[in-house]
Structure 1
């Protein structure tokens, strides 16, 4: 059964609007009678299986049976604290530290290596919460391998792993001296106009995006994230072009610690350092957002003023809070939800602003985030479309895979269309956080990535129906094939438990039962995957609520 793109989007937005995955009480009871899904807290557990699975969708790259059992036992707060205590997993960049970027074949090897490392790391790392948080930050504070090449792109991903649970002020400081970011947004080329430096000129790229995309946004915000408006109702701008120019002057004078090389990429590690040449930094007085930068100060001193200025701005708490809520929990949070998280950003309870552990924990434990742990209790506008990467990783983790499958007779790994991790097309990332659902005022940024190719790839199963490809990727397909061979009911129950929190919508349940006897496939495993592809390409799975 094919779902046209327009109908899929309509159904998905309807689901997001409150009429989708969760069914009424009578239908819930009927649907769950034949399922091992659990919606009440079992003896000895802290939370229900349904709630644990839903939480795992928000806090990780996808539920697994083992993860659900762990969350059930520990409860949300203890699981979060245990995740905070885990060391940061990292990409191993050593195999591509040295290669000649001017030789296409060597560049292709580096690219292939990066792709080969992404999914085992995202789906297999023990520090799933850190991974999910650093991935979230990477989407609104991005770099891209399409400009940086693979080695610095992986270095930047490792950098975000180190920063994910730290302090946001420290993150701003470290970001400004991060070599991949310095290269990506050209701040290492940012120099003042000077007769001593022929051809030198300010570069405003980083200064602009630091304010617009990473910390403040373009309009002033109230503490709850709503827009500040003037007496005529027009939005009040956060900064002017003059503020950008002045901030760029304050950001001049940073350099790579080691000279660039076409062979050894290790200078992308470490930190940028103030240039030893006196003319590299503009020492004149500047005024940014009303803050005066006195003359005669060096680059490092002015960076501290920048961090203090941005962390003290009224926008940063609601701005960062909204971005993190959108990527972890719901695309369209209420102002009250944003306001509660912004208050934690401003003060973690111990007088510290920017504590990301406190912010992440508050986001995941907020009453608005947890309300939907009781089936059907969430608000009509709550939830988010599964962006391609999260859809793909959830499928892989649900099937017990250890790697993305490769296409038959190819060295290429399957990937979700529209979203290659750490490779967005621009500094605006894969989609704008302000994008709204068509014909609606509902924030739904991820819908920008849902098109006919996206759905076709999901329906195609990413080659998981190939026994060789699935086995090579470590995927455990046999239980699904065996269940389908035994009876459609057993199969649907397994899919329901593994991918639908034990609360599959009755309409989808019936569709799968009807399709099971006629689904195409050369063997039971292929039939099971083809039927699963239909279920997981539906709006019932395409929306997380």
Structure 2
């Protein structure tokens, strides 16, 4: 189409830098002027200076699965910190696991029904639950502390997600303890088979799978970090390793001796409830002294005492603060934070001001209220490299929430699959990672650039095709069954192109749709495709959301 000029040349896979180059909007989205708290690097907005609509919508992109008119209005009314406090105060939700507690996963129809329930429960929580900040943090944590239904049953994975819900706003050390005694994790990373070889059990063998990932992926990483995330190097400029193979072996020995409290026979998955318990067999746990990361764990301790001591070592390590802080910043605010931003957040992780390390409430406030996070609340004020790709799940849920949907879309049933399938991003199926390394690595960089841009790895041809014309968005029953309110968009387009563009700008572009995109949409409405009002409207909506103007959160 001739109308697809400049914006069409800016692909969804563009970097934040490219988006800035494409965006020549001059719309005024200025927010209330922030006041810097010099001691923390955070900002506060006085009650006499209300949060602007643009700033509230931008904040919604960082703390939820997509802006809605009600959410933006709530943030405008409460302000940033008060809204966060209100989210902290909401009850902790749990998935209902009973529908998948008993079934035979070797029977295709039963396995299919369990999978449908699992997928629907997860996406519905993202789209519709009011505790959006908790859900967004759980989604973030689940991408670096992985349990996947590709290995464990749906019941176990839902139980795992409930564990993350319980710990999302708690203490990171408590989270690592809960992870270490989680039945789903014990199965997923094989710690249940971790036993020391001894004269009493010559057939036993240590299993390093969990202990290695506990250090590499869940807490420390493989190279030593400064507080600002920069890598420590030796005199030859080689990165210093965080731990050695001897440390892995020591951690493995400290984590021996756990078992399920209840067996999990075929068809009954309730054994994944609760926590792992110490195996009463004395040979199951290595009771010798261990030296872990320079700290000696004394001999003669119990299974629980050794695990507690090992987590204390991790929580006291220099790496854990920048390691966890980077991941939270990347998932919520920007993929490539400045060293100063990372240092400020890591400082709060190390000490919340009361001598406590790992206080997630304090850390989340540090992430979201930092001056670097809030600078872009004034349109155009942030740097060209600031922001993050809208990963497939966030793109999908954001599209649906902007239309007021309350559930995910569903595919039509077929003779081969009699249950309607759940429409979801195929390259990022929630909680179905192919491995413990998740969908991408936090250290992935944009091709040809030194910018961290891990989400870009998922923006392939399959994902872009889905954004442009996938999900069956021109089927009225599919949208209505998901609770989507599409009539306002249809009526706006029927009224005038400008009315439709204004509505799109309000719902998806913070009321500041770039002029280039406005013109492209105006041109496209001159030659509409489709026979029905819905068929004319949805392609325009998906086209606008497939551009980098929406594809990057800035």
- Confirm or deny a common fold (TM above 0.5): yes
Question: Which residue, out of 246, 250, 262, partners 1:242?
Answer: 246
CA distance in structure 1 between the partners assigned to 2:315 and 2:115 by the alignment: 37
**C-alpha displacement of 1:109:** 1.5
Matches within 5 A, 1:41-60: 46-60=50-64
Whether the aligned pair in 1 keeps the contact of 2:17 and 2:384 (CA below 8 Å) is no
Question: Which residue, out of 303, 321, 326, partners 2:325?
Answer: 321
**C-alpha displacement of 1:6:** 9.3
Matches within 5 A, 1:385-396: 385-396=389-400
Which SS does the other structure have where 2:474 is aligned? coil
Q: Aligned residue pairs: how many? A: 533
**C-alpha displacement of 1:77:** 0.5
CA distance in structure 2 between the partners assigned to 1:225 and 1:262 by the alignment: 46
Q: Could you list the per-position Cα deviations for residues 128-186 of structure 1 after superposition, in whole angstroms to 9, with x for gaps in the alignment?
A: 10111111100110110000121101110111000000001111111100111111100
Matches within 5 A, 1:394-413: 394-409=398-413, 411-413=420-422
Runs of 4+ in structure 1 displaced over 2 angstroms? 1-7, 9-16, 18-21, 38-45, 101-105, 194-199, 407-410
How well do the aligned residues superpose, as a CA RMSD in angstroms?
Answer: 1.9
Which SS does the other structure have where 2:444 is aligned? coil
CA distance in structure 2 between the partners assigned to 1:264 and 1:116 by the alignment: 21
Whether the aligned pair in 2 keeps the contact of 1:41 and 1:49 (CA below 8 Å) is no
CA distance in structure 1 between the partners assigned to 2:231 and 2:22 by the alignment: 31
Matched, 1:509 2:495: no
Matched, 1:521 2:524: no
Q: Could you list the per-position Cα deviations for residues 205-241 of structure 1 after superposition, in whole angstroms to 9, with x for gaps in the alignment?
A: 0100000000000000001111001111111000011
CA distance in structure 1 between the partners assigned to 2:10 and 2:374 by the alignment: 30
Whether the aligned pair in 2 keeps the contact of 1:5 and 1:451 (CA below 8 Å) is no
CA distance in structure 1 between the partners assigned to 2:397 and 2:258 by the alignment: 38
CA distance in structure 2 between the partners assigned to 1:478 and 1:6 by the alignment: 31
Which SS does the other structure have where 1:148 is aligned? coil
Change (3 A) 1:309 1:397: same
CA distance in structure 2 between the partners assigned to 1:99 and 1:172 by the alignment: 31
Matches within 5 A, 1:63-74: 63-74=67-78
Question: Which residue, out of 347, 372, 375, partners 1:368?
Answer: 372
- Unpaired segments ≥5 residues, structure 2: 34-46, 415-419
Matches within 5 A, 1:124-139: 124-139=128-143
Matched, 1:534 2:543: yes
Matched, 1:28 2:27: yes
Whether the aligned pair in 1 keeps the contact of 2:12 and 2:546 (CA below 8 Å) is no
CA distance in structure 2 between the partners assigned to 1:429 and 1:472 by the alignment: 31
Matches within 5 A, 1:114-153: 114-153=118-157
Question: Which residue, out of 186, 192, 201, partners 1:197?
Answer: 201
Which SS does the other structure have where 1:287 is aligned? strand
Report what 2:269 is aligned to: 265
Report what 1:161 is aligned to: 165
Matched, 1:544 2:553: yes
Q: Could you list the per-position Cα deviations for residues 468-511 of structure 1 after superposition, in whole angstroms to 9, with x for gaps in the alignment?
A: 11111100111111111111111001001100011111111110
Matched, 1:456 2:455: no
Change (3 A) 1:262 1:342: same
**C-alpha displacement of 1:517:** 2.3
The structure with the greater share of residues assigned to helix is 1
Return the TM-score normalized by structure 2: 0.93
Question: Which residue, out of 14, 19, 23, partners 2:17?
Answer: 14
Report what 1:476 is aligned to: 485
Return the TM-score normalized by structure 1: 0.95
Question: Which residue, out of 214, 217, 227, partners 1:213?
Answer: 217
Which SS does the other structure have where 2:142 is aligned? helix
Question: Which residue, out of 275, 293, 309, partners 2:297?
Answer: 293
Report what 2:36 is aligned to: none
Whether the aligned pair in 2 keeps the contact of 1:461 and 1:529 (CA below 8 Å) is no
